[in-house]
Amino acid sequence: MNIFAIDLTTDKHFISIKYDGVVTDFIFDESDRYKRNDWSKKINDIQTSLPDFSFFKVDLFAYAAGPGSYTGARLAYTFLSTLKLITKKDFLAYSNLTALAWGKSDKVPVIKGNKNDFYYLKNNKEIYAANINTFDEKLSFVSTEPISEIENLEILPDNIIAKNIVDMVSEGANHLTSNQPNYIKELQYRKLNG
Protein backbone atom coordinates (compact mmCIF):
# COMPACT_ATOMS: atom_id res chain seq x y z
CA MET A 1 0.00 0.00 0.00
CA ASN A 2 1.36 3.45 -0.95
CA ILE A 3 0.76 5.99 1.83
CA PHE A 4 1.30 9.76 1.92
CA ALA A 5 1.27 11.33 5.43
CA ILE A 6 1.79 14.98 6.28
CA ASP A 7 2.26 16.95 9.49
CA LEU A 8 2.09 20.71 9.08
CA THR A 9 1.25 21.46 12.73
CA THR A 10 4.65 22.93 13.67
CA ASP A 11 6.98 25.53 12.19
CA LYS A 12 8.73 22.68 10.38
CA HIS A 13 6.69 20.63 7.93
CA PHE A 14 7.03 16.87 7.62
CA ILE A 15 5.99 14.44 4.92
CA SER A 16 6.45 10.70 5.21
CA ILE A 17 5.76 8.55 2.16
CA LYS A 18 5.56 4.78 1.94
CA TYR A 19 5.95 4.14 -1.77
CA ASP A 20 6.68 0.80 -3.42
CA GLY A 21 7.40 -0.64 0.03
CA VAL A 22 10.02 1.97 0.99
CA VAL A 23 9.44 4.78 3.50
CA THR A 24 11.01 8.15 2.65
CA ASP A 25 10.85 11.11 5.02
CA PHE A 26 10.99 14.78 4.11
CA ILE A 27 11.63 17.70 6.46
CA PHE A 28 10.91 21.24 5.30
CA ASP A 29 12.44 23.83 7.63
CA GLU A 30 11.69 27.28 6.23
CA SER A 31 11.85 30.29 8.55
CA ASP A 32 10.05 32.57 6.07
CA ARG A 33 6.34 32.02 6.75
CA TYR A 34 5.41 32.88 3.16
CA LYS A 35 7.81 30.30 1.74
CA ARG A 36 6.89 27.66 4.33
CA ASN A 37 3.75 26.68 2.44
CA ASP A 38 5.38 26.45 -0.99
CA TRP A 39 3.90 23.21 -2.31
CA SER A 40 5.82 23.49 -5.58
CA LYS A 41 9.07 23.11 -3.63
CA LYS A 42 7.70 20.23 -1.57
CA ILE A 43 6.47 18.37 -4.66
CA ASN A 44 9.74 19.02 -6.53
CA ASP A 45 11.74 17.66 -3.57
CA ILE A 46 9.54 14.55 -3.47
CA GLN A 47 9.86 13.95 -7.21
CA THR A 48 13.64 14.46 -7.05
CA SER A 49 13.93 11.79 -4.33
CA LEU A 50 11.22 9.52 -5.75
CA PRO A 51 11.26 9.94 -9.56
CA ASP A 52 8.39 7.46 -10.06
CA PHE A 53 6.19 9.17 -7.46
CA SER A 54 2.66 10.04 -8.53
CA PHE A 55 -0.21 11.19 -6.33
CA PHE A 56 -2.42 8.93 -8.46
CA LYS A 57 -0.43 5.89 -7.28
CA VAL A 58 -1.01 6.73 -3.60
CA ASP A 59 -3.59 4.42 -2.04
CA LEU A 60 -4.33 6.50 1.03
CA PHE A 61 -3.50 10.00 2.25
CA ALA A 62 -3.36 10.96 5.93
CA TYR A 63 -2.50 13.99 8.02
CA ALA A 64 -1.89 15.20 11.55
CA ALA A 65 -5.07 17.04 12.55
CA GLY A 66 -3.83 18.51 15.84
CA PRO A 67 -3.41 19.63 18.46
CA GLY A 68 -0.77 21.95 17.06
CA SER A 69 -0.82 24.81 14.59
CA TYR A 70 -4.41 25.41 13.56
CA THR A 71 -3.24 27.03 10.35
CA GLY A 72 -1.03 24.05 9.55
CA ALA A 73 -3.84 21.56 10.18
CA ARG A 74 -6.16 23.64 8.00
CA LEU A 75 -3.56 23.78 5.20
CA ALA A 76 -3.05 20.00 5.32
CA TYR A 77 -6.82 19.43 5.26
CA THR A 78 -7.23 21.78 2.28
CA PHE A 79 -4.33 20.22 0.37
CA LEU A 80 -5.63 16.67 0.90
CA SER A 81 -9.19 17.72 0.07
CA THR A 82 -7.87 19.03 -3.25
CA LEU A 83 -5.95 15.80 -3.88
CA LYS A 84 -9.11 13.85 -3.07
CA LEU A 85 -10.99 15.74 -5.79
CA ILE A 86 -8.21 15.15 -8.31
CA THR A 87 -7.24 11.54 -7.50
CA LYS A 88 -10.58 10.27 -6.13
CA LYS A 89 -8.57 8.84 -3.19
CA ASP A 90 -9.73 9.35 0.37
CA PHE A 91 -7.73 10.70 3.28
CA LEU A 92 -7.75 10.15 7.03
CA ALA A 93 -7.05 12.41 9.99
CA TYR A 94 -5.00 11.32 12.99
CA SER A 95 -4.57 12.93 16.39
CA ASN A 96 -1.06 14.29 16.93
CA LEU A 97 -1.16 12.90 20.47
CA THR A 98 -2.14 9.40 19.35
CA ALA A 99 0.57 9.44 16.67
CA LEU A 100 3.13 10.70 19.19
CA ALA A 101 2.22 7.84 21.55
CA TRP A 102 2.44 5.17 18.83
CA GLY A 103 4.76 2.42 20.08
CA LYS A 104 5.17 4.15 23.45
CA SER A 105 2.27 2.68 25.43
CA ASP A 106 4.11 3.22 28.72
CA LYS A 107 4.47 6.98 28.12
CA VAL A 108 2.10 9.93 28.06
CA PRO A 109 2.40 12.10 24.93
CA VAL A 110 2.40 15.83 25.61
CA ILE A 111 2.39 18.91 23.38
CA LYS A 112 3.06 22.37 24.79
CA GLY A 113 0.84 25.10 23.38
CA ASN A 114 1.74 28.68 22.55
CA LYS A 115 0.23 29.99 25.80
CA ASN A 116 2.23 27.73 28.15
CA ASP A 117 -0.72 25.37 28.14
CA PHE A 118 -0.54 21.65 27.46
CA TYR A 119 -2.33 18.91 25.57
CA TYR A 120 -1.79 15.32 26.58
CA LEU A 121 -3.27 11.87 26.16
CA LYS A 122 -4.05 9.81 29.24
CA ASN A 123 -6.15 6.63 29.29
CA ASN A 124 -7.03 7.25 25.62
CA LYS A 125 -8.54 10.65 26.45
CA GLU A 126 -7.14 13.87 25.05
CA ILE A 127 -6.83 16.40 27.85
CA TYR A 128 -6.20 20.14 27.84
CA ALA A 129 -4.38 21.61 30.86
CA ALA A 130 -4.10 25.36 31.37
CA ASN A 131 -0.81 24.84 33.20
CA ILE A 132 1.62 22.20 34.44
CA ASN A 133 0.22 22.11 38.00
CA THR A 134 -2.37 19.50 37.01
CA PHE A 135 0.21 16.95 35.82
CA ASP A 136 1.01 13.82 37.79
CA GLU A 137 4.77 14.09 38.35
CA LYS A 138 5.13 10.28 38.45
CA LEU A 139 4.18 9.90 34.81
CA SER A 140 6.70 9.41 32.00
CA PHE A 141 6.14 11.69 29.02
CA VAL A 142 7.14 11.86 25.34
CA SER A 143 7.26 14.93 23.13
CA THR A 144 9.07 16.19 20.06
CA GLU A 145 10.54 19.16 21.89
CA PRO A 146 12.06 19.86 25.29
CA ILE A 147 9.56 21.10 27.85
CA SER A 148 11.41 22.68 30.76
CA GLU A 149 8.48 22.21 33.14
CA ILE A 150 8.55 18.40 32.74
CA GLU A 151 11.42 16.34 34.15
CA ASN A 152 10.56 12.78 33.09
CA LEU A 153 10.41 13.51 29.35
CA GLU A 154 11.72 11.50 26.41
CA ILE A 155 12.36 13.64 23.34
CA LEU A 156 11.43 11.94 20.07
CA PRO A 157 12.56 12.99 16.56
CA ASP A 158 10.61 16.01 15.37
CA ASN A 159 9.29 14.15 12.32
CA ILE A 160 7.94 11.21 14.35
CA ILE A 161 4.26 12.15 13.99
CA ALA A 162 4.25 11.88 10.18
CA LYS A 163 6.40 8.72 10.34
CA ASN A 164 4.08 7.13 12.90
CA ILE A 165 0.99 8.02 10.88
CA VAL A 166 2.40 5.97 7.98
CA ASP A 167 2.82 3.03 10.38
CA MET A 168 -0.64 3.56 11.85
CA VAL A 169 -2.24 3.54 8.38
CA SER A 170 -0.23 0.43 7.43
CA GLU A 171 -1.41 -1.39 10.54
CA GLY A 172 -5.02 -0.22 10.33
CA ALA A 173 -4.87 1.79 13.57
CA ASN A 174 -7.86 3.88 14.55
CA HIS A 175 -8.06 7.30 12.96
CA LEU A 176 -10.25 10.23 13.96
CA THR A 177 -13.93 9.87 13.11
CA SER A 178 -13.90 13.21 11.30
CA ASN A 179 -11.33 14.30 8.73
CA GLN A 180 -11.58 17.93 9.81
CA PRO A 181 -8.78 19.50 11.87
CA ASN A 182 -9.29 19.25 15.63
CA TYR A 183 -10.07 22.94 16.09
CA ILE A 184 -12.96 22.96 13.59
CA LYS A 185 -15.03 20.30 15.30
CA GLU A 186 -16.11 20.17 18.89
CA LEU A 187 -13.04 19.40 20.96
CA GLN A 188 -12.98 16.37 23.18
CA TYR A 189 -10.39 17.80 25.59
CA ARG A 190 -11.32 18.05 29.23
CA LYS A 191 -10.16 21.28 30.87
CA LEU A 192 -8.55 20.77 34.26
CA ASN A 193 -8.48 23.48 36.91
CA GLY A 194 -5.10 24.72 37.97
- pLDDT by residue (tens digit) across 100-138? 999 998 999 999 988 888 999 988 888 888 888 777 778
Looking at the fold, whether 29 and 89 belong to one and the same domain comes out as yes
Give the model confidence (pLDDT) of 24-64 as tens digits.
Answer: 999 999 888 777 888 899 999 999 999 999 999 999 999 99
pLDDT of residue 180: 75
Looking at the fold, whether 7 and 75 belong to one and the same domain comes out as yes
pLDDT of residue 183 exceeding 60: no
Total residue length of the chain: 194
Give the model confidence (pLDDT) of 74-93 as tens digits.
Answer: 999 999 999 999 999 999 99
- Angstrom distance (rounded) from CA 185 to CA 60: 23
For residue 50, count CB atoms less than 10 angstroms from its CB and return exposed for 0-12, middle for 13-18, buried for 19 or more: middle
Q: What is the CB-side half-sphere exposure of residue 162 using CA atoms within 13 A?
A: 27
Looking at the fold, whether 73 and 119 belong to one and the same domain comes out as no
Q: Is residue 190, in this structure, part of any structural domain at all?
A: no
Contact 10, 36 (CB under 8 A): no
Specify the pTM. 0.90
pLDDT of residue 48: 97
pLDDT of residue 184: 53
Q: Is residue 183, in this structure, part of any structural domain at all?
A: no
User: ∠54-35-7 over CA atoms, to 5°?
Assistant: 55
Domain around 37: 3-95+158-170
